[in-house]
């Protein structure tokens, strides 16, 4: 192996927004942004197979090891996402001498505006950014957008910027070509459709993905990266040898872990990938977990057979279910099973597709997202209206045409008006009610169309004398109508409190109405752990 | 330790029904009945702690090891349930010489009428006896009946004999006394309420349980034995040291495994037993599994927090959920999670209790059982009407007063009229329909009250030209009304088949109606494993 002159570059990732750029020489990086070490090393042999590279980063009291990767043409990189401001140092390690024992230091500044860090599980069933800001996932899916023409990608980013969506599901490997143009790039060296040198990655392919991830990061969208799928069988990426699968995972995790908006989704419809066993998926999870020093969220999305989300490497359940969020009582059932957040990433899509997974009305899509929210879960949007140009959001991104996104934005605002994540308060009695007990509630009537609702709250967290306001919410017309006056609690029976004057809320007899119930007076109540049925 | 004269008795369990008795000298036992070896041994020291005893039973090609137990007064026993007819031999092993190396042989005759063997998991989500006869669990609960006066026990057996119920949940340890008389016996030597010598069992306590199990066996009722609970805290059996828990489990499993109608339920509301950790429950399962050579069904029943039923020692999910079977779409959701049978053993009870877990109407109890059945799951009944004599079925057994048991019997007949266990056929589209695809279906409309139903079946298992009959079922009035004529299939669209003449079934516009749809002509169809949404 030829020894080469070594130089070391330390610079920040190029952000599209010029205002966020820092001088390359500054040796300064923002918390939860990433530092990128660039080293020159051997390009003979096969660096993808032969060169190990990592670095240990420390701020004195903590050490974090990050894996490096070969970026082609003799360039090696190590990326690091610091999670604390202060002075940090690093030292590289490699089995190749020009890459090893390189040392340096840098300064980490506090996170700037709009930078809340990576998303974590929060309050058992929910999510928050690392800085503590609650994150309510309102996701959508554009499976193949990373592999479509640049113009479509730009349109996708612009659409997302103006949408409520803050999470995007996408495939790392391209979909099958179908009737569209083939992707411009492929993840391995070789020739399409399937003549690949699986021992050599195509760095350009991954650089393109990284650029898109930074664009998403810039607009506050989490990137739910789907690592395997079965939709591109012509390319053969679902039938690679196990050692290639594993190397691919180590490579992409080394490249992308430092992006704070990355989530790892092992697969879409994992059980439809007939070439793999359940033990393969277990192994993938463990490889991803081992290679990612930041512990980004990890999930696996099912077809018809649900993975065992109790396994310790699963951070949240990513569910496809075509019926679960038709009704909030169904939607909440999985929470008790896994004691983890449940995200219904696929619940059928809004659209006019002839297949029944793709022809929900906007009304029904909106209804399903509400059902999920008042179940204490989250629901992913998708859209597949047939378009003359075949630019269908679900697959390619581009533009949205449906009627649900505006309503989802409205729901998101309602949810954000509350004090934090909501859970079902009395799950075996009223599956249409969720809230923060004694503080804030959403009641969603779904397909029911009542003419009135007697003010009543379950006992958890409430007490006599508490005072509440009620807003009537039309989830489709997107109106919020305050009910005049307030509601003052007194105990009704063992389980419930009602307004002391027996007040009733008049409702318009329409479906898809909701209530927002907010405490505005009285003392906070207590939430006990007792058997709620006693 | 004093050496004693040894004698060995070989006899059959005393059955209450004299017709089933065999001469004690016959050395003949029926398949799935049990053989009982009786040995005399030491009664000094503490045999419960000091004596190990087991026997290996073999019919030449198989060896099965069964654990023995001390039955008091110098008597030791080993019970064995043979699962194949033929000639069998045994040989004992013990750490005490008079009990070890005893040998003998016996004949196993084929199972007699009404003896189908123990119940196993069947077709993944269902149950069958060991002889292949399908077993549909229609369970009920009388938690404390083993610990009530003999007269009440007799009434319980008579009630069960005339009921649809073929499974009974019951506590091994007594409930707290409450306002009732204390139990006559306790499982340990000592004095109530809590002055126990945990190192010495009271064999009489267990013999009494065994007599009840044989009575249940005689009338075809499976005994779902609850090994721990929290309702008798005054006796202290929920706060025993771990070594006592473990010894108790080994003892009861050694005594009762040979009863073919035993099921092991680790706990009722396990998560409400605050003295134990999840790891304790895992350990209990493993002790029970290790001690039971027949692999009887094993489950654990939750309060509010569901155990991880994916763990390999769980044979089926035993669920408490107060809302899951209000609606068949909810009820089916757990099947995909655990890929095991789901038995909703507690779904609130029929009754007039002031607590909301105990005041379902008979109509609602019946509705819930139907919802569970068309979800491909099973639902347990319970009843707690307040009675002047405080003999409440749920707790003490005795007599049933409710209106649901007759309807449950009716449903059981309907289900037994089909070809076998039913599953949801198109679970993300029609959660009210279950069946054996292309053969037999039950459609349950629940709270809907349609005036008509257009004959339509999902594509799985069906084909053009198949001919069906339809019966209209009133689940409450218990009527079956055949619809005149037949329905001949033709394809409607990608997903459905309908009657070629577009026939519609007229319905009475009442809730809780069902349909039974039976193929009577045409060729069998194919059920493929394809993604059902494509």
pLDDT digits (tens, 9 = 90+) for A55-110: 999 999 999 999 999 999 999 999 999 999 999 999 999 999 999 999 999 999 99
Which residues of B339-495 form beta strands (DSSP E)? 342-346, 350-351, 378-379, 383-384, 423-424, 433-436, 440-444, 452-454, 456-458, 467-474, 479-482, 487-491
Hey, are the CB atoms on B334 and A339 less than 8 Å from each other?
Answer: no
pLDDT tens track for B209-252 = 999 999 999 999 999 999 999 998 899 999 999 999 999 999 99
Provide the token pair at A398.
Answer: 């581009």
Hey, are the CB atoms on B324 and A333 less than 8 Å from each other?
Answer: yes
The Cα of B365 is separated from the nearest Cα of chain A by a number of Å equal to 15
**Prior bond to A15 cis, omega within 30?**
no
Rounded to an integer, the average pLDDT of A246-266 is 98
Q: How far apart are CA A185 and CA A234, in angstroms?
A: 15
Hey, are the CB atoms on B327 and A329 less than 8 Å from each other?
Answer: yes
* Statement: residue B526 has pLDDT above 80: yes
Specify whether the CB–CB gap between B266 and B284 falls below 8 A.
yes
pLDDT at B11 (0 to 100) = 39
Tell me the residues of chain A between 136 and 195 that have a Cβ less than 8 Å away from chain B.
none
Which residues of B176-310 form beta strands (DSSP E)? 188-191, 195-201, 222-228, 262-267, 298-299
The Cα of A177 is separated from the nearest Cα of chain B by a number of Å equal to 18
pLDDT at A530 (0 to 100) = 63
Provide the token pair at A273.
Answer: 């990938």
pLDDT at A2 (0 to 100) = 39
A446 interaction partners in chain B (CB closer than 8 Å)? none
The Cα of A349 is separated from the nearest Cα of chain B by a number of Å equal to 12
Using a 10 angstrom Cβ sphere, with 0-12 exposed, 13-18 middle and 19 or more buried, the burial of residue A361 is: middle
The Cα of B277 is separated from the nearest Cα of chain A by a number of Å equal to 16
The Cα of B125 is separated from the nearest Cα of chain A by a number of Å equal to 14
In this complex, is the C-beta atom of B336 within 8 Å of any C-beta atom belonging to chain A? Answer: yes
Structure confidence at residue A180 as a pLDDT band (50, 70, 90):
confident
SS3 at position A135 = coil
pLDDT at A15 (0 to 100) = 34
- Please report where in the chains the tokens 């990050």 appear, as a residue: A66
Query: Which residue in chain A is spatially nearest to B330 when comparing CA positions?
Result: A330
Structure confidence at residue A367 as a pLDDT band (50, 70, 90):
very high
Hey, are the CB atoms on B304 and A531 less than 8 Å from each other?
Answer: yes
A337 interaction partners in chain B (CB closer than 8 Å)? 306, 334, 337
A334 interaction partners in chain B (CB closer than 8 Å)? 333, 337
pLDDT at B533 (0 to 100) = 65
Hey, are the CB atoms on B323 and A329 less than 8 Å from each other?
Answer: yes
B303 interaction partners in chain A (CB closer than 8 Å)? 531
The Cα of A59 is separated from the nearest Cα of chain B by a number of Å equal to 38
The Cα of A19 is separated from the nearest Cα of chain B by a number of Å equal to 47
Hey, are the CB atoms on B323 and A531 less than 8 Å from each other?
Answer: no
Q: How far apart are CA B178 and CA A174, in angstroms?
A: 67
What are the residues whose beta carbons fall under 8 Å from the beta carbon of B150, sequence distance 6 or more? none
SS3 at position B331 = helix
Hey, are the CB atoms on B304 and A336 less than 8 Å from each other?
Answer: yes
pLDDT at A533 (0 to 100) = 65
Please give the mean pLDDT across all residues of chain B: 93
Secondary structure element (H or E) that encloses residue B48, with its range:
helix B47-50
A359 interaction partners in chain B (CB closer than 8 Å)? none
What are the residues whose beta carbons fall under 8 Å from the beta carbon of A173, sequence distance 6 or more? A187, A228, A229, A232, A235, A237, A238
In this complex, is the C-beta atom of B322 within 8 Å of any C-beta atom belonging to chain A? Answer: yes
In this complex, is the C-beta atom of A304 within 8 Å of any C-beta atom belonging to chain B? Answer: yes
The size of chain A, in residues, is 534
From the list B337, B356, B531, which residue is nearest A429 (CB)?
A: B356
Hey, are the CB atoms on B429 and A272 less than 8 Å from each other?
Answer: no
Rounded to an integer, the average pLDDT of B324-343 is 97
In this complex, is the C-beta atom of A321 within 8 Å of any C-beta atom belonging to chain B? Answer: yes
From the list B304, B308, B354, which residue is nearest A310 (CB)?
A: B308
Rounded to an integer, the average pLDDT of B344-371 is 97
A333 interaction partners in chain B (CB closer than 8 Å)? 321, 324, 330, 333-334
Which residue(s) pair with B342 in the sheet? B317
Specify whether the CB–CB gap between B378 and B422 falls below 8 A.
no
Specify whether the CB–CB gap between A435 and A442 falls below 8 A.
yes
Specify whether the CB–CB gap between A383 and A351 falls below 8 A.
yes
* Statement: residue B293 has pLDDT above 60: yes
Hey, are the CB atoms on B323 and A431 less than 8 Å from each other?
Answer: yes
Q: How far apart are CA B95 and CA B54, in angstroms?
A: 10
The Cα of A316 is separated from the nearest Cα of chain B by a number of Å equal to 14
Q: What is the 3-state secondary structure (H, E, C) of A225-262?
A: EEEECCCCHHHCCCCCCHHHHHHHHHHHHHHHCCCCCE
Specify whether the CB–CB gap between B434 and B183 falls below 8 A.
no
Specify whether the CB–CB gap between A478 and A403 falls below 8 A.
no
* Statement: residue B130 has pLDDT above 60: yes
Task: Tally the C-alpha atoms within 13 A of residue A78's C-alpha that lie toward its C-beta.
Answer: 31
pLDDT at B21 (0 to 100) = 29
Phi first, then psi, for residue A167 (nearest 5°) are: -150, 140
Specify whether the CB–CB gap between B93 and B53 falls below 8 A.
yes
Size of interface A-B (CB pairs under 8 A): 85
- Strand pairing report for B383-384 and B350-351: parallel
User: How far is residue B116 CA from its own chain's centroid?
Assistant: 14
Which residue(s) pair with B58 in the sheet? B63, B89
Phi first, then psi, for residue B332 (nearest 5°) are: -80, -10
* Statement: residue B532 has pLDDT above 90: no
In this complex, is the C-beta atom of A450 within 8 Å of any C-beta atom belonging to chain B? Answer: no
- Residue from B268, B337, B354 to probe the interface with A (highest A Cβ count within 10 Å): B337
Q: How far apart are CA A517 and CA A468, in angstroms?
A: 6
* Structure-derived torsion over alpha carbons of residues B192, B198, B201, B205, reported in degrees to the nearest 10: 30
Range B266-299 burial, b when 16+ CB lie within 10 A, else e? bbbbbbbbeebeeebbbbbbebbbebbbbebbbb
Hey, are the CB atoms on B305 and A329 less than 8 Å from each other?
Answer: no
Q: How far apart are CA A508 and CA B221, in angstroms?
A: 52
Rounded to an integer, the average pLDDT of A118-139 is 98
**Nearest CA-CA partner of B490 in B459, B526, B519:** B459
* Statement: residue A11 has pLDDT above 70: no
From the list B272, B337, B427, which residue is nearest A323 (CB)?
A: B427
* Statement: residue A14 has pLDDT above 70: no
Q: How far apart are CA B243 and CA B246, in angstroms?
A: 5
pLDDT at B68 (0 to 100) = 97
User: How far is residue A324 CA from its own chain's centroid?
Assistant: 20
Secondary structure element (H or E) that encloses residue B245, with its range:
helix B242-256
From the list B308, B321, B428, which residue is nearest A428 (CB)?
A: B321
% of chain B exceeding 90 in pLDDT? 90
Would the pTM count as exceeding 0.90? yes
In this complex, is the C-beta atom of B305 within 8 Å of any C-beta atom belonging to chain A? Answer: yes
In this complex, is the C-beta atom of B494 within 8 Å of any C-beta atom belonging to chain A? Answer: yes
Rounded to an integer, the average pLDDT of B432-455 is 98
Specify whether the CB–CB gap between A194 and A236 falls below 8 A.
yes
Hey, are the CB atoms on A322 and B355 less than 8 Å from each other?
Answer: no
Specify whether the CB–CB gap between B357 and B313 falls below 8 A.
no
pLDDT at A21 (0 to 100) = 29
- Please report where in the chains the tokens 């990426």 appear, as a residue: A237
- Taking residue B429's Cβ as centre, other Cβ atoms within 10 Å add up to 17
Q: How far apart are CA B52 and CA B274, in angstroms?
A: 32
In this complex, is the C-beta atom of B452 within 8 Å of any C-beta atom belonging to chain A? Answer: no
Hey, are the CB atoms on A532 and B304 less than 8 Å from each other?
Answer: yes
pLDDT at B531 (0 to 100) = 64
Rounded to an integer, the average pLDDT of A224-248 is 95
pLDDT at A22 (0 to 100) = 27
Structure confidence at residue A506 as a pLDDT band (50, 70, 90):
very high
Instruction: Average the pLDDT over each of A186-200, B25-39, B69-83 and give the range with the smallest value.
Output: B25-39
In this complex, is the C-beta atom of B272 within 8 Å of any C-beta atom belonging to chain A? Answer: yes
Rounded to an integer, the average pLDDT of B22-27 is 40
Specify whether the CB–CB gap between B455 and B169 falls below 8 A.
no
* Statement: residue A496 has pLDDT above 80: yes
pLDDT tens track for B162-204 = 999 999 999 999 999 887 788 999 999 999 999 999 999 999 9
- Residue from B269, B306, B360 to probe the interface with A (highest A Cβ count within 10 Å): B306
Provide the token pair at A130.
Answer: 């690392």
**Nearest CA-CA partner of B154 in B351, B409, B396:** B396
In this complex, is the C-beta atom of B534 within 8 Å of any C-beta atom belonging to chain A? Answer: yes
In this complex, is the C-beta atom of B308 within 8 Å of any C-beta atom belonging to chain A? Answer: yes
Q: Hey, what long-range contacts does A12-20 have (CB within 8 A, 24 or more apart)?
A: A12/A36, A13/A210, A13/A214, A14/A214, A15/A214, A15/A218, A16/A214, A16/A215, A16/A218, A17/A218, A20/A112, A20/A218
Structure confidence at residue A233 as a pLDDT band (50, 70, 90):
confident
The Cα of A107 is separated from the nearest Cα of chain B by a number of Å equal to 45
- Strand pairing report for B440-444 and B456-458: unpaired
The Cα of A533 is separated from the nearest Cα of chain B by a number of Å equal to 6
* Statement: residue A10 has pLDDT above 50: no
Phi first, then psi, for residue A115 (nearest 5°) are: -105, 105
Q: How far apart are CA A347 and CA A326, in angstroms?
A: 9
Specify whether the CB–CB gap between A417 and A373 falls below 8 A.
no
* Statement: residue B102 has pLDDT above 60: yes
SS3 at position A282 = helix
From the list A269, A306, A326, which residue is nearest B336 (CB)?
A: A306
Taking each helix axis from N to C terminus, what angle separates B278-291 and B242-256, rounded to the nearest 10 degrees?
30
pLDDT at B448 (0 to 100) = 96
Task: List, in sequence order, the alpha helices (H) in A353-504.
Answer: 362-374, 393-396, 404-416
pLDDT at A23 (0 to 100) = 23
Secondary structure element (H or E) that encloses residue A337, with its range:
helix A333-338
Q: How far apart are CA B512 and CA B514, in angstroms?
A: 7
**Prior bond to B193 cis, omega within 30?**
yes
Specify whether the CB–CB gap between B174 and B208 falls below 8 A.
no
């Amino acid at each position: 192996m030829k020894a080469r002159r070594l130089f070391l570059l330390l610079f920040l990732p190029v952000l599209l927004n010029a205002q966020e750029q820092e001088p390359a020489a500054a040796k300064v990086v923002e918390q939860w942004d990433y530092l990128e070490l660039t080293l020159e090393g051997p390009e003979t042999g096969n660096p993808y197979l032969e060169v190990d590279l990592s670095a240990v980063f420390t701020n004195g009291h903590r050490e974090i090891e990050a894996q490096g990767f070969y970026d082609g043409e003799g360039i090696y990189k190590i990326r690091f996402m610091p999670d604390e401001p202060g002075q940090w140092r690093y030292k590289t390690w490699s089995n190749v001498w020009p890459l090893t024992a390189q040392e340096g230091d840098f300064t980490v500044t506090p996170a700037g505006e709009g930078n809340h860090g990576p998303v974590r599980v929060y309050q058992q069933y929910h999510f928050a950014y690392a800085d503590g800001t609650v994150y309510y996932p309102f996701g959508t899916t554009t499976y193949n957008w990373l592999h479509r023409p640049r113009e479509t990608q730009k349109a996708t980013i612009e659409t997302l910027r103006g949408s409520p969506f803050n999470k995007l599901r996408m495939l790392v490997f391209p979909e099958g070509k179908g009737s569209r143009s083939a992707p411009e790039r492929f993840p391995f060296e070789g020739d399409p459709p399937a003549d690949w040198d699986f021992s050599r990655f195509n760095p350009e392919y991954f650089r393109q993905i990284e650029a898109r991830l930074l664009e998403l990061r810039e607009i506050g969208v989490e990137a739910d990266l789907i690592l395997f799928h079965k939709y591109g069988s012509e390319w053969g990426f679902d039938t690679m040898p196990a050692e290639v699968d594993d190397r691919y995972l180590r490579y992409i995790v080394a490249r992308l872990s430092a992006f704070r908006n990355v989530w790892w989704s092992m697969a879409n419809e994992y059980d439809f990938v007939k070439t793999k066993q359940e033990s393969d998926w277990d192994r993938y999870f463990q490889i991803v977990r081992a290679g990612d020093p930041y512990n980004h969220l990890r999930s696996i999305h099912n077809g018809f057979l649900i993975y065992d989300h109790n396994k310790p490497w699963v951070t949240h359940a990513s569910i496809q279910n075509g019926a679960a969020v038709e009704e909030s009582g169904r939607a909440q059932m999985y929470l008790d099973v896994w004691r983890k957040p449940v995200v219904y990433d696929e619940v059928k899509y809004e659209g006019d597709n002839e297949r029944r997974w793709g022809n929900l009305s906007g009304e029904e899509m909106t209804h399903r997202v509400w059902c999920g929210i008042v179940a204490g879960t989250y629901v992913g949007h998708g859209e597949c209206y047939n378009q003359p140009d075949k630019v269908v959001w679900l697959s390619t991104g581009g533009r949205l045409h449906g009627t649900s996104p505006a309503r989802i934005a409205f729901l998101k605002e309602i949810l954000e008006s509350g004090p934090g994540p909501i859970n079902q308060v009395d799950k075996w009695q009223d599956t249409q009610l969720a809230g923060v007990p004694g503080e804030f509630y959403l009641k969603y009537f779904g397909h029911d169309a009542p003419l009135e609702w007697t003010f009543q709250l379950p006992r958890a967290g409430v007490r006599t004398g508490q005072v509440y306001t009620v807003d009537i919410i039309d989830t489709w017309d997107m109106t919020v109508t305050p009910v005049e006056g307030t509601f003052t609690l007194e105990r009704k029976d063992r389980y419930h409190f009602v307004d002391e004057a027996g007040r009733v809320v008049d409702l318009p007899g329409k479906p898809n109405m909701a209530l927002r119930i907010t405490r505005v007076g009285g003392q906070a109540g207590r939430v006990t752990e007792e058997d709620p049925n006693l």
